Structure 1
Amino acid sequence: MAFRLQTLGELRLVDLSGNAVAFSEKGLIILAYLFVHPQRAQSRTALSKLLWDVVEPTQAYTNMRKSLSRIDSRQQELGHQFVEITASDVKLNVEAIECDAEGLQAPPHSDALIDLRALVGLFSHVFLENIDSTGAALSAWIEQRRAQHLSRLREALISAIPIAKSAQDIALVKDAALRIFQHDPDDEMIVSLLAETYSTEGKVETFRNIYDGRKQKLWGNLTLSPDVHALNVVKKVFEKQRSLFPAPKNGLGDALTASTQNGLKRPIPRLVLLPPAESPAGSQPLFPLANALIEDVTIALCALTSVSVVAPYTAAQIGRHSDKANTIAQHSISYVLDTRHSGRGAQSSLFVQLVYFANDEVIWADRYDMDNDSLAVQRRQIARRITMAITGEIERNELAREYFEQSPVAYHHYLLGQRHLKNLGLPDIRRARKEFRSALNHAPYFAPALSGIARTYSREWLITARGDAQLLKAAEKHANKAIAAGQDMVGGYRELGVAKMLLGGIDESVEALELAETLSPHYADVAADYADTLVHASKPGLALEKIEKAIELNPLSPDVYLWTAAGANYCLEEYEQALSYIERMADRGLANRLSAASWAMIGDQKRAKSFVRKARETNPDFDVDTWLTAVPFKEQWQKDHYRDGLRKAGF
Structure 2
Amino acid sequence: MERRLAAILAADMVGYSRLMAADEAGTIRRQKALRETVIDPKIAQFGGRIVKTTGDGVLVEFGSVVDAVQCAADVQAVVVAQEAEVPDDLRISYRIGINLGDIVVDGDDILGDGVNVAARLESVSAPGGICVSDMVYQSLLKKVDLGFTDLGELALKNIDRKIRAWQWSTDRSGADAMLQTARKVALRSSVDKPSVAILPFDNMSGGSGDDFFADGLAEDIITELAREPDLYVIARNSSFVYKDKVKNIKDVGRELGARYVLEGSVRRAGNRVRLTAQLIDAETNRHIWAERYDRSLEDVFEVQDELTGAIYSTLLTKLMGLGLEQSVRQKPADMDAYSHSLRAFGLMYRLTRADIDAAEESAKAALAADPHYARGHVAMAWAHIHRVFLGQQADPLGRLKQARAEAQKAIETDRNDYWSFGALGGAELWLGNHDRALTALERAVALGPNSADMRALYAVVMNFLDRPEEGLANIELAVRLNPHHPDWYLLPWSRSLYLLGRHGETLPLLRRLIDSGVETLPGYLQMIANYSALGLTDEARQVVPALLEVNPSFSLAHVPRYTPFKNPQDLDRFVGLLREAGLPE
Q: Same fold (TM over 0.5)?
A: yes
For residue 353 of structure 1, give the secondary structure of its aligned residue in structure 2: strand
> 1:311 maps to which residue?
235
Question: Is the aligned partner of 1:436 residue 2:366?
Answer: yes
Q: What amino acid does structure 2 have at the position aligned with 1:495? A: A
> 2:517 maps to which residue?
587
> 1:201 maps to which residue?
none
For residue 533 of structure 2, give the secondary structure of its aligned residue in structure 1: helix
Contact 2:238 2:256 in 1 (8 A): no
1:473-484 to 2 correspondence within 5 Å? Answer: 473-484=401-412
Q: What amino acid does structure 2 have at the position aligned with 1:518? A: A
In 2: Cα distance, 1:469 partner to 1:606 partner? 33
Q: CA, structure 1 residues 323+644, in 2 after alignment: closer, same or farther (shift >3 Å)?
A: farther
> 2:265 maps to which residue?
340
How far is 1:609 from its partner?
A: 3.4
Q: What amino acid does structure 2 have at the position aligned with 1:521? A: P
Select 1:599's aligned residue among 503, 528, 531. 531
In 1: Cα distance, 2:330 partner to 2:563 partner? 38
> 1:649 maps to which residue?
581
> 2:223 maps to which residue?
299
1:225-240 to 2 correspondence within 5 Å? Answer: none
Q: What amino acid does structure 1 have at the position aligned with 2:581? A: A
Q: What amino acid does structure 2 have at the position aligned with 1:639? A: L
Contact 1:285 1:345 in 2 (8 A): no
How far is 1:599 from its partner?
A: 2.3
Instruction: After superposition, give the CA deviation of every residue in 1:80-104 in whole Å (9 maximum; x if it has no partner).
Output: xxxxxxxxxxxxxxxxxxxxxxxxx
How far is 1:561 from its partner?
A: 0.3
Select 1:415's aligned residue among 339, 342, 348. 342
Select 1:499's aligned residue among 404, 407, 427. 427
In 1: Cα distance, 2:381 partner to 2:335 partner? 22
Seq. identity, %: 23
Question: Is the aligned partner of 1:639 residue 2:571?
Answer: yes
1:532-551 to 2 correspondence within 5 Å? Answer: 532-551=460-479
Q: CA RMSD in A?
A: 3.1
Q: CA, structure 1 residues 427+650, in 2 after alignment: closer, same or farther (shift >3 Å)?
A: closer
Structure possessing the higher relative contact order (Cα contacts under 8 Å, 6 or more residues apart): 2
Contact 1:582 1:588 in 2 (8 A): no
How far is 1:310 from its partner?
A: 0.9
1:550-561 to 2 correspondence within 5 Å? Answer: 550-561=478-489
> 1:283 maps to which residue?
207
In 1: Cα distance, 2:315 partner to 2:342 partner? 25
Question: Is the aligned partner of 1:455 residue 2:385?
Answer: no
Q: What amino acid does structure 2 have at the position aligned with 1:303? A: R
- State the TM-score, normalizing by the size of structure 1: 0.53
Q: CA, structure 1 residues 414+605, in 2 after alignment: closer, same or farther (shift >3 Å)?
A: closer
In 2: Cα distance, 1:461 partner to 1:583 partner? 21
Contact 1:310 1:553 in 2 (8 A): yes
In 2: Cα distance, 1:352 partner to 1:265 partner? 23
Select 1:510's aligned residue among 418, 429, 438. 438
Q: What amino acid does structure 2 have at the position aligned with 1:637? A: Q
How far is 1:410 from its partner?
A: 4.9
Higher strand share: 2
For residue 367 of structure 1, give the secondary structure of its aligned residue in structure 2: strand
Paired residue total:
383
In 2: Cα distance, 1:312 partner to 1:503 partner? 29
Unaligned runs of 5+ in 2: 1-188
Instruction: After superposition, give the CA deviation of every residue in 1:51-87 in whole Å (9 maximum; x if it has no partner).
Output: xxxxxxxxxxxxxxxxxxxxxxxxxxxxxxxxxxxxx
Q: CA, structure 1 residues 587+430, in 2 after alignment: closer, same or farther (shift >3 Å)?
A: closer
Q: What amino acid does structure 1 have at the position aligned with 2:358? A: D
Q: CA, structure 1 residues 307+607, in 2 after alignment: closer, same or farther (shift >3 Å)?
A: same
Contact 2:332 2:370 in 1 (8 A): no
For residue 626 of structure 1, give the secondary structure of its aligned residue in structure 2: helix
Select 2:195's aligned residue among 260, 270, 273. 270
How far is 1:293 from its partner?
A: 1.0
Q: Which has the larger radius of gyration?
A: 1
Q: CA, structure 1 residues 455+594, in 2 after alignment: closer, same or farther (shift >3 Å)?
A: closer
- State the TM-score, normalizing by the size of structure 2: 0.59
Q: What amino acid does structure 2 have at the position aligned with 1:341? A: V
Question: Is the aligned partner of 1:391 residue 2:316?
Answer: yes
In 2: Cα distance, 1:287 partner to 1:630 partner? 34
How far is 1:506 from its partner?
A: 0.8
Q: CA, structure 1 residues 612+577, in 2 after alignment: closer, same or farther (shift >3 Å)?
A: same
Which of 628-637 and 548-557 deviates more? 628-637
In 2: Cα distance, 1:369 partner to 1:448 partner? 25
Q: CA, structure 1 residues 330+465, in 2 after alignment: closer, same or farther (shift >3 Å)?
A: same
Q: What amino acid does structure 1 have at the position aligned with 2:531? A: W
Q: What amino acid does structure 1 have at the position aligned with 2:254? A: A
In 2: Cα distance, 1:348 partner to 1:357 partner? 28
Instruction: After superposition, give the CA deviation of every residue in 1:495-548 in whole Å (9 maximum; x if it has no partner).
Output: 211111111101110111012111210011111111112222222221111111
Instruction: After superposition, give the CA deviation of every residue in 1:277-318 in whole Å (9 maximum; x if it has no partner).
Output: 4679x5365332011111011011100111111111111114
Q: What amino acid does structure 2 have at the position aligned with 1:452? A: A
Q: CA, structure 1 residues 299+469, in 2 after alignment: closer, same or farther (shift >3 Å)?
A: same
Q: CA, structure 1 residues 575+512, in 2 after alignment: closer, same or farther (shift >3 Å)?
A: same
Instruction: After superposition, give the CA deviation of every residue in 1:134-165 in whole Å (9 maximum; x if it has no partner).
Output: xxxxxxxxxxxxxxxxxxxxxxxxxxxxxxxx
For residue 358 of structure 2, give the secondary structure of its aligned residue in structure 1: helix
Contact 1:531 1:546 in 2 (8 A): yes
Question: Is the aligned partner of 1:608 residue 2:535?
Answer: no
Higher helix share: 1
Instruction: After superposition, give the CA deviation of every residue in 1:597-643 in whole Å (9 maximum; x if it has no partner).
Output: 22232233443333334334444443223323664220111112212
How far is 1:320 from its partner?
A: 5.4
Q: CA, structure 1 residues 383+472, in 2 after alignment: closer, same or farther (shift >3 Å)?
A: same
Contact 2:263 2:279 in 1 (8 A): yes
Q: What amino acid does structure 2 have at the position aligned with 1:609? A: R
> 1:565 maps to which residue?
493
For residue 286 of structure 1, give the secondary structure of its aligned residue in structure 2: helix
Contact 2:330 2:414 in 1 (8 A): no
In 2: Cα distance, 1:418 partner to 1:368 partner? 25
In 1: Cα distance, 2:303 partner to 2:335 partner? 10
In 2: Cα distance, 1:577 partner to 1:295 partner? 33
Contact 1:373 1:408 in 2 (8 A): yes
Select 2:505's aligned residue among 534, 556, 577. 577
Q: What amino acid does structure 1 have at the position aligned with 2:366? A: F
Q: CA, structure 1 residues 626+482, in 2 after alignment: closer, same or farther (shift >3 Å)?
A: closer
How far is 1:568 from its partner?
A: 1.7
How far is 1:339 from its partner?
A: 1.9
Instruction: After superposition, give the CA deviation of every residue in 1:312-337 in whole Å (9 maximum; x if it has no partner).
Output: 11111144567754353133211111
How far is 1:362 from its partner?
A: 0.9
For residue 398 of structure 1, give the secondary structure of its aligned residue in structure 2: coil
How far is 1:411 from its partner?
A: 3.8
> 1:488 maps to which residue?
416
> 2:254 maps to which residue?
329
Contact 1:571 1:641 in 2 (8 A): no
For residue 193 of structure 2, give the secondary structure of its aligned residue in structure 1: coil
Unaligned runs of 5+ in 1: 1-263
In 2: Cα distance, 1:271 partner to 1:489 partner? 21
How far is 1:471 from its partner?
A: 2.7
In 1: Cα distance, 2:430 partner to 2:564 partner? 7
Q: CA, structure 1 residues 391+510, in 2 after alignment: closer, same or farther (shift >3 Å)?
A: same
> 1:355 maps to which residue?
280
Q: What amino acid does structure 2 have at the position aligned with 1:602? A: L
For residue 258 of structure 2, give the secondary structure of its aligned residue in structure 1: coil
